[in-house]
Amino acid sequence: MSALTFVVSGRVQGVSFRAWTEGVARSLGVTGWVRNRADGRVEGLAEGADEALATFVARLHEGPRAARVDQVVTEPAEPCGAASFQVRR
């Protein structure tokens, strides 16, 4: 089990990015959370198998149809043992 934090920049608020991210994570068996930041970016924590996390990050670079992803920054993190993937407010 590995974990990472992520911050996504671009047009990622008001385009269902968090709900889309939750769906992608759940389809890959990735747990953690995602939330909007006050600066217009989206951030989160993801944990799961290395292959699932690599696919998850690749999908973050794509984003949902209405989004425009300019940058995805990831950093290794300590797994926290999340049971599911949730959208935080």
> Can you give the residue ranges of every domain in the chain?
2-81
pLDDT of res. 88: 96
pLDDT of res. 89: 87
> How many angstroms separate the CA atoms of 7 and 30, rounded?
16
Q: Which of 88, 89, 84, 87 is nearest to 29 (CA)?
A: 84
pLDDT of res. 87: 98
Q: Could you say which of 18, 37, 65, 68 is catalytic?
A: 18
**Packing angle, helices 17-28 and 50-62, rounded to 10:** 150
Highest CATH level, class, for 2-81: alpha beta
pLDDT at residue 8 is higher than 90: yes
Predicted TM-score (pTM) of the model is: 0.96
Q: How many CB atoms lie within 10 A of CB 79?
A: 15
pLDDT of res. 51: 98
Active site residue 18: yes
How would you label 57-68 residue by residue, b for 16+ Cβ within 10 Å and e otherwise?
A: eebbeebbeebe
Q: Could you say which of 26, 35, 36, 65 is catalytic?
A: 36
Segment 21-74, tens digit of pLDDT: 999 999 999 999 999 999 999 999 999 999 999 999 999 999 999 999 999 999
